[in-house]
């Protein structure tokens, strides 16, 4: 059995010279060059599968299939993938479109931070949690992406972190309403000073923290 040949490698300019990045109507002028490039890159079969998956999207009320539209979408996705890949970007092949099976009976929407119990470590459910330690854990992970449930001290702390990370307003609310309760004020640190603290120092500190962790 003959060994499959590896996909040929092209430079970005070679791809563009071969019409990658430009829509070409199948079987029209320059399509043979672009199609041959797809074959040499071992992506022609995937292109055909991707294009076929769009038939349902490109069918009008009379049943007429606008094949040119499906080809245009598929070529755009494949060409974008190839050009980004040759530039050294980390990319994945386009997803094959599938018709949703629950169009008439939409699934109830769940919060993004709803998880299965098995996603957490067994220790996360043991004993009474330390609220202050959990609040500090949440604060330390506010701007960390990809935090796993098993890393959290408790399911509650993880859920609160997911909520706080959803948008800048949630992060700000967490800092000013929850984290503020565990941050010592200047008067608490200055033991013996005898001054009465009105919380202003804490609020000013939290305003600065909020500004620092909230992207422009």
pLDDT of residue 67: 86
- Which residue, of 33, 65, 86, is where some domain finishes? 86
Q: Could you tell me if 97 and 58 are in contact, meaning their C-beta atoms sit under 8 angstroms apart?
A: no
Mean pLDDT of the 56-63 span = 87
125 and 74 both lie in a single domain: no
How far, in Å, CA of 96 to CA of 74, rounded?
10
Q: Which residue has the higher pLDDT, 59 or 1?
A: 59
Within a domain: residue 162? Answer: yes
H or E segment at 132?
helix 131-140
75 and 134 both lie in a single domain: no
Within a domain: residue 53? Answer: yes
H or E segment at 140?
helix 131-140
Q: Which residue has the higher pLDDT, 202 or 69?
A: 69
Exposure on the CB side of residue 165, measured as CA atoms within 13 A: 18
148 and 193 both lie in a single domain: yes
Full domain range(s) for residue 203: 117-213
Among the residue ranges 47-51, 65-69, 205-209, the one predicted with the least confidence is 205-209
Average pLDDT along the chain: 79
3-class SS of residue 59: strand
Q: Write phi, then psi, for 181 (nearest 5 degrees).
A: -75, -20
pLDDT > 90? residue 86: yes
């Amino acid at each position: 059995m003959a060994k499959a040949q590896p996909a040929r490698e092209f430079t970005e300019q070679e791809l563009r010279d071969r019409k990658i990045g430009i829509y070409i109507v199948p079987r029209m002028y320059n399509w043979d060059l672009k199609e041959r490039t797809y074959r040499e890159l071992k992506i022609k079969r995937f292109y055909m599968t991707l294009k076929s998956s769009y038939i349902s999207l490109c069918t009008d009320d009379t049943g007429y299939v606008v094949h040119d539209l499906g080809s245009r979408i598929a070529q755009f996705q494949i060409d974008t993938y190839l050009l980004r890949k040759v530039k050294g970007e980390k990319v994945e092949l386009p997803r094959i479109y599938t018709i949703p099976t629950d169009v008439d009976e939409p699934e109830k929407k769940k919060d993004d931070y709803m998880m299965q119990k098995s996603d957490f470590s067994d220790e996360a459910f043991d004993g009474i949690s330390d609220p202050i330690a959990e609040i500090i854990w949440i604060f330390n992970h506010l701007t960390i992406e990809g935090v796993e449930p098993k890393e959290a001290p408790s399911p509650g702390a993880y859920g609160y972190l997911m909520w706080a990370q959803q948008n800048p307003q949630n992060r700000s609310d967490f800092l000013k309403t929850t984290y503020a309760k565990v941050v010592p004020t200047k008067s608490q640190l200055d033991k013996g000073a005898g001054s009465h603290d009105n919380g202003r120092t804490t609020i000013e500190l939290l305003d600065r923290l909020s500004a620092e962790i909230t992207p422009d």
